[in-house]
């Protein structure tokens, strides 16, 4: 058995960054931008009013008076210069003219004709957002999976089209005579295929196209037929049939199809019978069948492989620190990825590993928001000790 880190390095070596395409922002959500984007302008491009009111020049205090000499609104600049004692009627989003000290909000002003007087409610300001406050021309947005806020930022930078990586195609193959699809009527000795839905969602959220292929039965012909359907995929992910039982066919069929195996069996709990390699040039990841095992391995191996194909220069999972809320016994010879709850404490994140860690328990996984990582042979840990975790 090799270590998780060694296995991850071998898995990542099976994939390469894919090519790019240029997309308008409206089609770029959840796509990976592999190179930084550069702002074409300052934002805001001018000093801008942050409130509706009056731009003023000169000492401002309750009772101070100013003469209103013009008006500016968003998209309608006033092109003069304000002098001491003068004010400009101004609305949120309008350029603030040169010389103005502040914008006094209209709630703090009484107006009579062209004259305004600041009331006792006057609270200062300045309610002016300086030019380039958000970003300046030449500032960059780093490589990333584009979230909604990133799209708004790119738009604001006047980046209309963005270069994104082609979405990796992930073919997901569930295997087993005991499986039927949700909604079908199972026999007494059957269960509902579940793992594939979590893995599909994980892959999609990471920026991939994830195809669920038909369930392969526990015989060579069926498995071969479903492998054939995976043609064209960038990554083939199988679920189950990875262990040592008489009906665990994935390793054999993959080998018969010409799989060049990178590893089989790793020092990980859950996830021991994991395998990876290449079949006719396509990367393949063979996940164990237990639901939690397959989904945990999806986080630790499938997602990094997808990120590497997308061009993420740091695809490996990054552990965060948290303090234990309860002691943990010594760990054994396999790194343990425990299902756990993280919550914010007064001095940073606190983590609690669940008591039940059987790799068949989807209810426990659904309650978890973290994997608490115990290294191989980790000694007993006390309440308050720092441990590493991965948000899930
Ligand atoms: N003698 C040994 N037996 C087992 C070992 C071992 O080392 N020696 N390892 C155990 C470990 S650890 C795991 S993990 C499992 C993995 O086995 P497989 O990858 O061959 O998985 P299956 O036997 O096909 O299935 C295991 C379990 O999960 C259910 N399953 C499978 N696919 C799905 C799916 N898509 N959706 C929902 N549930 C699924 C399946 O019905 C089984 O109950 O092997 C141990 N055995
Ligand atoms: O490694 Mo198995 O994945 O413990 O359940």
- Beta carbon of 290 within 6 Å of any ligand 2 atom: yes
Please tell me the distance between residue 159's alpha carbon and the centre of ligand 2 in angstroms: 47
Best of 177, 178, 239, 240 to mutate for ligand 1, by most ligand atoms within 8 A of CB? 240
Whether 63 and 117 have beta carbons less than 8 Å apart is answered as: yes
Q: What are residue 269's DSSP bridge partners?
A: 336
Strand, helix or coil for residue 144: strand
CB 228 within 8 A of CB 257: no
Which residues, including other chains, have CB under 8 Å from residue 134's CB and lie 6 or more apart? 43, 44, 156
**Tell me, what's the pLDDT at 222?**
97
Instruction: Give the CATH number for residue 28.
Output: 3.90.105.10
Per residue in 268-282, pLDDT tens? Answer: 999 999 999 999 999
Beta bridge partners of 67: 86, 115
* Shared domain check, 159 and 27: yes
> Are 287 and 215 in a shared domain?
yes
- 357-370, pLDDT tens digit by residue? 999 999 999 999 99
Instruction: Establish if 332 belongs to a structural domain.
Output: yes
- The angle subtended at Cα 285 by Cα 354 and Cα 218, nearest 5°, is 90
User: Are 192 and 274 contained in the same domain?
Assistant: yes
pLDDT tens digits, 83-97: 999 999 999 999 999
Query: Where a domain ends, among 76, 107, 129?
Result: 129
Distance, CA of 289 to CA of 238 (rounded, Å): 9
**224 and 298 inside one domain:** yes
* Amino acid 125: pLDDT: 84
Asked if residue 134 is part of any domain, the answer here is: no
- Residue 244: its pLDDT value, please? 85
Q: 226 — phi, psi (to 5°)? A: -75, -35
Look at residue 347 in the predicted model and tell me its pLDDT.
92
CATH number at residue 83: 2.170.190.11
CA distance 320 to 308: 21
Is the C-beta atom of 359 inside 6 A of ligand 2?
yes
Residue 327 and residue 297 in one domain = no
Query: Residue 228 pLDDT > 90, yes or no?
Result: yes
36 lies in the same domain as 159: yes
Residue 30 near ligand 1, beta carbon < 6 Å: no
Instruction: Report, as an integer, the average pLDDT of 287-294.
Output: 98
Domain boundary among 111, 129, 147: 129
Give the span between the Cα atoms of 25 and 347, in whole angstroms: 40
| φ and ψ at residue 317, rounded to 5 degrees | -60, 145
Ligand whose nearest atom lies closest to the CA of 359: 2
> With contact defined as beta carbons under 8 Å apart, do 251 and 286 qualify?
yes
| Whether 101 and 157 share a structural domain | no
258 shares a domain with 205: yes
Q: What's the rounded Cα separation, in Å, for the pair 119 and 122?
A: 6
Domain count, the chain: 4
DSSP output for 235-302: EEEEES--SSSTT--HHHHHHHTT-EEEEE-BSEES-TT-EEEEETTEEEEEE-SSHHHHHHHIIIII
- 32 and 104 in a single domain? The answer is no
pLDDT of residue 52: 98
Same domain, 81 and 62: yes
Say if residue 159 is in the same domain as residue 290. Answer: no
Structural domain that includes position 161: 20-40+139-165
- Of 270, 218, 267, 269, the residue nearest 241 (C-alpha): 218
Ligand nearest the Cα of residue 173 is 1
CB neighbourhood size of 216 (10 A): 28
Residue 25 lies in a domain: yes
Q: How confident is the model at residue 312 (pLDDT cuts 50, 70, 90)?
A: very high
Identify the CA nearest to 151 among candidates 25, 312, 21. Answer: 25
Query: Does the pLDDT value for residue 194 go beyond 90?
Result: yes
CATH number of the domain to which 353 belongs: 2.40.340.10
Output the average pLDDT for the chain.
97
Confidence of residue 247 (pLDDT cuts 50, 70, 90): confident
Using only C-alpha atoms, what is the Rg of the chain?
30
Q: Is 315 domain-assigned?
A: no
pLDDT, tens digit (0-9, with 9 covering 90-100), for 44-61: 999 999 999 999 999 999
The enclosing domain of 231 has a CATH number of 3.40.980.10
Residue 238 lies in a domain: yes
As a whole number of angstroms, the distance between CA 373 and CA 5 comes to: 13
In sequence order, the β-bridge partners of residue 2 are 266
State whether residue 362 is helix, strand or coil: helix
| Per-residue pLDDT reduced to its tens digit, 63-73 | 999 999 999 99
Looking at the DSSP assignment, which residues form a beta bridge with residue 261?
Answer: 277
Q: Is the CB of 207 under 6 A from ligand 1?
A: no
Whose CA is closest to atom 4 on ligand 2?
Answer: 270
Domain finish residue from 289, 310, 331: 310
Query: What pLDDT, on the 0 to 100 scale, is given for residue 246?
Result: 87
pLDDT (average), residues 15-23 = 98
| Judgement on whether residues 358 and 369 belong to the same structural domain of the protein | yes
pLDDT at 319 over 90: yes
Query: What pLDDT score does 379 carry?
Result: 98
What would the pLDDT profile of 320-349 be if each residue is shown by its tens digit?
999 999 999 999 999 999 999 999 999 999
| 213: number of Cβ within 10 Å | 20
* Confidence band for 248, pLDDT divided at 50, 70 and 90: confident
């Amino acid at each position: 058995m090799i270590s998780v880190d060694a296995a991850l390095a071998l898995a990542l070596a099976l994939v390469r960054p894919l090519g790019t395409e240029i997309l308008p922002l409206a089609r770029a959500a959840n796509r990976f931008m592999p190179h930084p984007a550069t702002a074409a302008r300052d934002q805001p491009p001018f000093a801008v009013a942050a409130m509706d009111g009056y731009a003023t020049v000169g000492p401002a205090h309750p009772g101070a008076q100013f003469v209103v000499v013009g008006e500016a609104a968003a998209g309608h600049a006033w092109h003069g210069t304000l002098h001491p004692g003068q004010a400009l009627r101004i609305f949120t989003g309008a350029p603030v003219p040169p010389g103005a000290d502040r914008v006094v909000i209209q709630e703090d002003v009484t107006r009579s004709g062209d004259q305004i007087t600041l009331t006792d409610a006057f609270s200062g300001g300045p309610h002016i957002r300086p030019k380039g406050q958000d970003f300046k021309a030449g500032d960059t947005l780093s490589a990333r999976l584009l979230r909604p806020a990133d799209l708004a930022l790119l738009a604001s930078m006047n980046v209309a089209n963005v270069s994104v990586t082609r979405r990796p195609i992930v073919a997901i193959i569930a295997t087993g005579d005991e499986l039927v699809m949700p909604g079908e009527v199972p026999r007494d000795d059957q269960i509902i295929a579940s793992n594939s839905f979590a893995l599909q969602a994980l892959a999609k959220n990471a920026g991939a196209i994830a195809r669920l292929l038909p369930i392969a039965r526990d015989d060579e012909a069926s498995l071969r037929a479903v492998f054939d359907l995976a043609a064209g995929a960038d990554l083939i992910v199988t679920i189950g049939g990875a262990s040592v039982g008489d009906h665990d066919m994935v390793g054999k069929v993959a080998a018969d199809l010409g799989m060049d195996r990178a590893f089989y069996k790793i020092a990980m709990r859950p996830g021991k019978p994991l395998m990876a390699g290449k079949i006719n040039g396509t990367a393949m990841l063979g996940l164990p069948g237990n639901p939690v095992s397959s989904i945990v391995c999806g986080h630790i191996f499938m997602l990094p492989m997808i990120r590497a194909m997308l061009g993420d220069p740091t695809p490996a999972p990054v552990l965060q620190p948290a303090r234990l809320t309860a002691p943990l016994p010594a760990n054994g010879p396999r790194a343990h990825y425990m299902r756990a709850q993280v919550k914010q404490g007064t001095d940073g994140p606190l983590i609690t590993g669940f008591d039940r860690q059987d790799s068949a328990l989807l209810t426990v996984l659904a309650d978890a928001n973290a994997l608490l990582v115990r290294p191989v042979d980790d000694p007993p840990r006390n309440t308050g000790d720092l441990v590493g975790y991965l948000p899930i």
